[in-house]
Amino acid sequence: MTTIRRSFICLLLSCIGIIAVAQTVAIEKLRKDQEKTKKNIETTNKLLKETQSSTKGTVTKIKVLESQITERKKFINSLNKEVVVINHSMQRISAEKDTLEQQLTQVKQEYAKTIYHSQIKKSMYNDMLFVLSAETFSQAYRRMRYL
C-alpha cells in the first residue's frame, strides 16, 4: 500500500514539474515581449527628440506621443498578464503543498500504527519462543507459570 502511495506522490511531483516548466516558458515569453516594448519605447523617444528640432515637429510629435502611449499600454498589459500567471502559479503551489502536508500527516499516522502493531506481535512471539525453547516439559511448564 505504501508503494502505491509513493508512486502516486512521484506522479504528482512529476506533474508539478511539467506544469512549472510550461509556466516558466509563458513567463519568459512575456518578459521577451516586455523587452521588445521597452526597445520600441526607446526608439520612439529618439524619434521624439529628432522631431522636436524640425519645423513640422508638432504633427510628428503628436504621432510619436500616441505611439509611445500605445507601447506603454502594451507594456502595462504584459506586466498585468505576468502578475496573473504568477498569482495562478502561487495558488496552485499552495494547494499542492496543503495536499502533500495532509498526505504526510496520514502517512505518519499509518507508520505509528504499524510500529505499534509490530511491537505487540514481537512481544507475543518472544513470550512463545521463551516457553518453546525449554529443554524439558517441566521447564516449559515452569516458564509458562512465570509468564
pLDDT grade for 131, boundaries at 50, 70 and 90: confident
- Provide the pLDDT for residue 50: 75
Write down the pLDDT at residue 7.
67
Distance separating alpha carbons of residues 10 and 16, to the nearest angstrom: 10
Average pLDDT, stretch 135-144? 83
Least confident of 20-24, 42-46, 125-129: 20-24
Instruction: Decide: 96 and 12 in contact? Cβ < 8 Å.
Output: yes
Residue range of the domain that includes 25: 2-146
Binned at pLDDT 50, 70 and 90, residue 114 comes out as confident
* 34-45: burial string, b at 16+ Cβ within 10 Å, e else: beebeebbeebe
CA–CA distance, 10 with 21 (Å, rounded to integer):
17
Q: 16-25, 36-45, 107-116: lowest mean pLDDT where?
A: 16-25
Evaluate if residue 136 carries a pLDDT over 80: yes
> What's the total number of domains in the chain?
1
Q: Which residues contact 78 (CB under 8 A, 6 or more apart)?
A: 30, 33, 34, 37
> How far from 143 is each of 59, 130, 131, 135, 138, CA to CA, in Å?
111, 7, 6, 11, 9
Task: State mean pLDDT over 34-48.
Answer: 83
Q: Do 85 and 30 touch, CB atoms closer than 8 A?
A: yes
